[in-house]
Amino acid sequence: TQLLEQSPQFLSIQEGENLTVYCNSSSVFSSLQWYRQEPGEGPVLLVTVVTGGEVKKLKRLTFQFGDARKDSSLHITAAQPGDTGLYLCAGIPTTDSWGKLQFGAGTQVVVTP
Amino acid sequence: DAGITQSPRHKVTETGTPVTLRCHQTENHRYMYWYRQDPGHGLRLIHYSYGVKDTDKGEVSDGYSVSRSKTEDFLLTLESATSSQTSVYFCAISVGGSNQPQHFGDGTRLSIL
């Protein structure tokens, strides 16, 4: 059982549409990270959120950390084909003093022209 | 670029043979990790290291061993490969501390027939 549940597992949209990916847990996290991974490559860090209620923006991407630090969302506005990829959330549970990351299973996003 | 190189990038081998994967970093970071990535599971931690000769098990360590005799190299060994170990393996480092975001290599695709 994954500590972090991502939804949806797969998302296919047209260029210009908006999308939201969710990352949920029953555990509390000291921080949560979002990565994007393209075929044949390793995940690349997009953002880290550490404060409950925090909102961070990266161009057309908006990341939010839940008030209770148990969930997060990634919203993409006016998606472009270059946004295609596997989006992974990962977090460090507050119960882990060493700081090992727990990953969600990922959301595959496909943006077609 | 975090200067992480994984080798080999692809390998096909037979059940029962030993396999060693190498992760090399150029920046002398203390913390290094080995993950496997399988569909529907995201990334799962196999082993991690917090210094030369200091290693510990992750959540899926059975059938794997690691060694770190130099800061820059972290080796993952499958003593007797099984088909269930067919996967994509990623090495990662964290910069500045175990609870910091991680930077990943480009992975090794391992097929065990």
pLDDT tens digits, B36-57 = 999 888 899 999 999 998 999 9
Chain A, window 38-97: residues with a beta carbon less than 8 angstroms from a chain B beta carbon: 40-45, 48, 88, 90, 92
Q: What percent of chain B has pLDDT over 70?
A: 98
Token pair recorded at residue A9:
């597992």
In 3-state terms chain A splits into helix, strand, coil percentages (rounded to 5) of 5, 55, 45
Mean pLDDT across chain A, nearest whole number? 94
Q: State yes or no: pLDDT of B1 exceeds 90.
A: no
Picking from A44, A100, A13, A33, the residue whose alpha carbon sits closest to that of residue B106 is A44
**d(C-alpha A29, C-alpha A101), whole Å:** 10
**pLDDT tens-digit profile of A5-55?**
999 999 999 999 999 999 999 999 999 999 999 999 999 999 999 999 999
Higher pLDDT, A1 or B101: B101
**Amino acid, single-letter form, for residue A29:** F
CA nearest to A30 within chain B:
B99
Q: Let me know: does B35 contact B90? Beta carbons within 8 Å.
A: yes
Residue A30 touches chain B, beta carbons under 8 Å: yes
**d(C-alpha A54, C-alpha B32), whole Å:** 29
Note the pLDDT of residue B2.
Answer: 65
